[in-house]
Amino acid sequence: MKKRQKLGQHFLKSKKIAELIVSAAHLNKHDDVLEIGTGMGILTTLLCKSAKNVVSYESDKKLYHYAQTMISNFSNLKLENKDGFKSKEKFSVFVSNLPYSKSRDAIEWLIQKKFSRAVIMVQKEFAEKLVTNSKKKRKAISILSQHALDIETIAKVHKSNFVPQPKVDSVVLKLKSRKPVSKETIKIVNKMFSYRRKTLQNILARFGKSVDSTKRLDELKGDEIIKIAKQIIKK
């Protein structure tokens, strides 16, 4: 448990919230679901009752063995004791109560994939980064996620619904894949934002490109930034 706390993992204890998450996924008997973070299995059980197949990854050995004991009786469930973000499983739906420390990595992994829909629970502050319309508040992950995904806020979840109780509230988000982005594009956009206070001319010079522009990233639309990143890759 202490290891999971260090990773920012807090276990959902509310069946009502778990049911809300699964309901938002609109599962049917044709869906192949990928879950990362089996945890105590509260979501996994509900997923198995609604989907065709469920593959659930749990990197913690103790939790994996607990899940094997408690929920492995579902014939449509495959439990894996591995890092789910290294998975090559094909899926139509992704569902996860993400560890806070893994939220950014999870989004960067997910936006490279082709999928139908996803329902995730993340820290409230991180959710605000994903959906912000403020050019000054947005981060690289804001640009990338808004380009690649349709993002809908489903519900705010009070911290009292978790054990151990975190210091912050969470948010359930529903995602739909729009335009998958490459690993190279993600890398370039992240690098560009490390120079966000500089002019576009100075930023591109660091990538061996030249442009006569004194604009800064905060003055550009998200899709414009993605377009520039792709032009840098073509060098």
pTM: 0.92
Q: Which of 97, 91, 95, 116 is nearest to 162 (CA)?
A: 97
- Give the pLDDT confidence score for residue 90 in this predicted structure: 93
First to last CA, the chain: 47
Distance CA 207, CA 235 (A): 9
Q: Are 22 and 121 in contact (CB under 8 A)?
A: no
Strands 11-12 and 162-163: antiparallel
Fold of 2-181: Rossmann fold (3.40.50)
181 CA to centre of own chain: 14
- Give the pLDDT confidence score for residue 10 in this predicted structure: 84
Q: What is the pLDDT along the chain (235 residues), one digit of tens a residue?
A: 444 444 457 899 999 999 999 999 999 999 999 999 999 999 999 999 999 999 999 999 999 999 999 998 999 999 999 999 998 899 999 999 988 888 999 999 999 999 999 999 999 999 999 999 999 999 999 999 999 999 999 999 999 999 999 999 999 999 999 999 999 999 999 999 999 999 999 999 999 998 899 999 999 999 999 999 999 998 6
Distance CA 102, CA 96 (A): 11
In the beta sheet, which residues pair with residue 121? 97, 172
Q: Is the peptide bond before 180 cis (omega within 30 degrees of 0)?
A: no
Written as one letter, the residue type at 144 is L
Domain with CATH 3.40.50.150 in the chain: 2-181
Q: What backbone phi and psi angles, to 5 degrees, belong to 135?
A: -65, -30
- Give the pLDDT confidence score for residue 98 in this predicted structure: 84
How many of the other CB atoms lie within 10 Å of CB of 69?
10
